[in-house]
Structure 1
């Protein structure tokens, strides 16, 4: 029985590929994993804002990558927030913005989010803003 286990283990190890990635491949993987979008702020505290007066919140980012960044979708967490964003490709080194306009209908504290999807990041970026309606 021991001989069968040892033979089976040797066969499995013999079939495995023990290769090492070249340094260029590793560097490319690291470069791809690094984000090409650097946000000025991912969370903004608005403090106190007046009721029934829409408030525009701007989230600015810079393309720190080597290729153009395209925003494909911007989605607000609720119907009380309208969004707008730069529709043209953002070239390396350039800045762009995502604007969320919050219509503060109810008094009290609030926290809202805006989800931004780009071609530069594998997961969407969730931006937030908060404050108190007076």
Structure 2
């Protein structure tokens, strides 16, 4: 019972802080001195690289298992203030490979992550493969997902 009560108090405090932060960020006519008093958590996002994937999921639908490799390109943008460097990309199986830019992507520029799925290396049926992208982005790790159904 004490744990539930403690959890409810934490949720109320977090909700109050979020409400306060939103109220502070709402455009209201105020003096410059009042604008400087906003809490640190309500200020602009962190500076640095920011990897943004407009599309992070793709469904290949029904594909023949012996019909060859499936390819898809995912475009990403660096919406940050520093060059974006992709450090590594991890795939969920050996049937799923990815290539990515080795050079930094400048702020405001785009890059492409190209994936190749080899259905012949997997069992027939539904597949759901995940790609983890590690970079210097302030958002942390990003995920790409491809799915479909491999038929004989």
TM-score interval, normalised by the smaller of the two chains? 0.7 to 0.9
SS of 1:32's equivalent in the other structure is coil
SS of 1:112's equivalent in the other structure is strand
1:64 Cα shift?
Answer: 0.8
SS of 2:140's equivalent in the other structure is coil
SS of 1:31's equivalent in the other structure is coil
Where do 4+ consecutive residues of structure 1 move more than 6 Å?
Answer: none
Of residues 70, 88, 94, the one that matches 1:79 is 94
Deviations 1:29-82 (A, max 9, x none): 642189712102111111122213111122211111111100000010001111
Within 5 Å, which residues of 2 pair with 1:39-118? 39-52=53-66, 53-105=68-120, 106-118=123-135
Q: 1:66 to 1:80 in 2, by over 3 A?
A: same
Note the residue ranges of structure 1 that are not aligned, 5 or more in a row: 1-21
**TM value normalised by structure 2:** 0.65
Say which structure is richer in helix: 2
**Based on CA coordinates, which of the two structures has the bigger radius of gyration?**
1
Note the residue ranges of structure 2 that are not aligned, 5 or more in a row: 1-35
CA distance in 2 between counterparts of 1:101 and 1:113 reads 12
The alignment of Structure 1 onto Structure 2 pairs a total of residues equal to: 113
Deviates more, 1:41-50 or 1:64-73: 41-50
CA distance in 2 between counterparts of 1:60 and 1:45 reads 16
Say which structure is richer in strand: 1
